Amino acid sequence: MENFVFYSPTEFVFGRDTQVQTGPLVKRYGGTTVLLVSGGGSVERSGLLGQVRESLSQSGIKYVEQKGIAPNPTDDRVYEGIDLARDHGVDFVLAVGGGSVIDSAKAVAIGVPYAGDFWDFYCGKAQPERALPVGVVLTIPAAGSEGSGNSVITKLDGKHKISVRYPMILRPRFAVMNPELTMSLPWFQTACGVADMLCHIYERYFSNTPATDLTDSIAEAIMRDVMDNALTLKEMPDDYDARASIMWASTLAHNGLCGTGKQEDWSSHRLEHEISAWYNVAHGAGLAVMTPAWMQYVAERNPGKVMQFAVNVMGISPDGKTEAEVCRLGIESLRGFYHTLGLTTSLRELIGGEPDLDLLTESLRGNMGDTLGFYVPLSMADCRKIYEAAL
């Protein structure tokens, strides 16, 4: 096991009706004037935004709103949010929504106290030293941004979709998580969220670091639980306990717990980010395509962990089978799981046409350099083959 720092200081306030605590939570963490960030309208329609406004007002907190943050959030809205926050003397950023809203809010939070261009933090030109505090009212279990120090923003000019990790300053101060709020999600978004949280675990699970049995067992238990509860929700979308398990799992998948003591991989995410940047598909839908293709490719070169995943998570019996057969059956079973959720595992089907693999590979090289990942280090030629295998 490797040395590690696990720093997860977010206060998670979980359960029914917890959104009414938003105002007191902002107050507790020092907010007096809030930038209230939301998405394309689901939270207005559900009445959640009204409840949050009321809770802020009752706590004597002023707010200014930035609405309409779209999935795969872009830099133009971040600049707008920074200006809005500065103009109104904002001292706290509150995201009401999913990963896209939260990530845009986080980018504003590091951008406001910085004299330069916030994109400096995404292109590697500068490291942020401070950020406005961020709070979250979560509406979709998926990205795990409510408990992560990450933010993913796309620069419109060049379609650079870049993920940054600043855990010491960007982890939300609190995250309000009411599973009932996720019942208004279209099934497709629930399914995409499941694919995303599972992949956050794969990125940590598929590792060559030895002696990580405890971390691996935690990861396997969460993956099995997510898959079981996703199948329950497919039949009974209003099952509160299944919603609750999935929601908590989305946080545990990405707050660092499943990576403690291990070298992490992150190839599938990097491969996918090019797809959602260029074809504007849902991130989780892109991962359902890329992860089985990636797994198949690495299983032929380093089967150990893929075999363990097939047996311990997908329930494949290894008796009388070769290592290659067990891996193949595990990956087939994973594809079958995504299909049951209604997600495609074909890149062509995902984007509804022929993807430009040269564009994806060159853009990946531009953003990530010549190699990717650690479980099996991938050259750009390997990445191109994985895109081909995903077609």
| Residue nearer to ligand NZQ on the CB measure, 285 or 316 | 285
**Whole-number Cα distances in Å, 274 to 159, 280, 284, 341:** 8, 9, 13, 23
CB of 243 to ligand NZQ, least distance (A): 11
Instruction: Tell me which residue has its CB nearest to Zn ion.
Output: 196
H or E segment and range at residue 121? none
User: What is the bridge-based pairing of β-strands 62-66 and 11-14?
Assistant: unpaired
CB of 170 to ligand NZQ, least distance (A): 9
CB of 125 to ligand NZQ, least distance (A): 20
Sign of CA dihedral 138, 143, 149, 152: negative
Instruction: For residues 170 and 133, give the distance between their C-alpha atoms in angstroms, rounded to a whole number.
Output: 8
Residue 153 binding target from ligand NZQ, Zn ion, none, CB below 5 to 8 Å by type:
none
Q: Which residues make up the interface to ligand NZQ (CB under 6 A)?
A: 39-43, 71-72, 97-101, 103, 139-140, 142-145, 148, 150-152, 163, 181-182, 184-185, 189, 193, 196, 254, 269, 283-284
Q: What are phi and psi of 198, to 5 degrees?
A: -60, -40
| Residue nearer to ligand NZQ on the CB measure, 189 or 207 | 189
CB of 286 to Zn ion, least distance (A): 9
Q: What are phi and psi of 134, to 5 degrees?
A: -120, 135
H or E segment and range at residue 64? strand 62-66
CB of 46 to ligand NZQ, least distance (A): 6
Residue 97 binding target from ligand NZQ, Zn ion, none, CB below 5 to 8 Å by type:
ligand NZQ
Residue 71 binding target from ligand NZQ, Zn ion, none, CB below 5 to 8 Å by type:
ligand NZQ
| Residue nearer to ligand NZQ on the CB measure, 110 or 310 | 110
Residue 72 binding target from ligand NZQ, Zn ion, none, CB below 5 to 8 Å by type:
ligand NZQ
Instruction: Name 155's bridge partners.
Output: 160
User: What is the bridge-based pairing of β-strands 150-155 and 92-97?
Assistant: unpaired
Collapsed DSSP state (helix, strand, coil) of residue 3: coil
| Residue nearer to Zn ion on the CB measure, 196 or 216 | 196
Residue 345 binding target from ligand NZQ, Zn ion, none, CB below 5 to 8 Å by type:
none
Does residue 258 contact residue 236 with C-beta atoms inside 8 Å?
Answer: no
CB of 313 to ligand NZQ, least distance (A): 19
User: Which one, of 341, 294, 296, 390, lies nearest residue 194 by Cα?
Assistant: 341
Residue 250 binding target from Zn ion, ligand NZQ, none, CB below 5 to 8 Å by type:
none
382 counts as binding Zn ion under rule CB under 5 A: no
CB of 132 to ligand NZQ, least distance (A): 17
Instruction: For residues 93 and 177, give the distance between their C-alpha atoms in angstroms, rounded to a whole number.
Output: 17
Does residue 276 contact residue 19 with C-beta atoms inside 8 Å?
Answer: no
| Residue nearer to ligand NZQ on the CB measure, 101 or 316 | 101
User: Which one, of 167, 118, 138, lies nearest residue 39 by Cα?
Assistant: 138
| Residue nearer to Zn ion on the CB measure, 288 or 327 | 288
DSSP state of 300: T
Residues 273-332 that bind Zn ion (CB under 5 A): none
Angle at which helices 283-299 and 187-205 cross, to 10°: 40
Does residue 84 contact residue 33 with C-beta atoms inside 8 Å?
Answer: no
| Residue nearer to ligand NZQ on the CB measure, 98 or 330 | 98
Residue 184 binding target from ligand NZQ, Zn ion, none, CB below 5 to 8 Å by type:
ligand NZQ
- Which residue in this structure is represented by tokens 């590091």? 110
CB of 34 to Zn ion, least distance (A): 27
196 counts as binding Zn ion under rule CB under 5 A: yes
Residues in contact with Zn ion by CB under 5 A are: 196
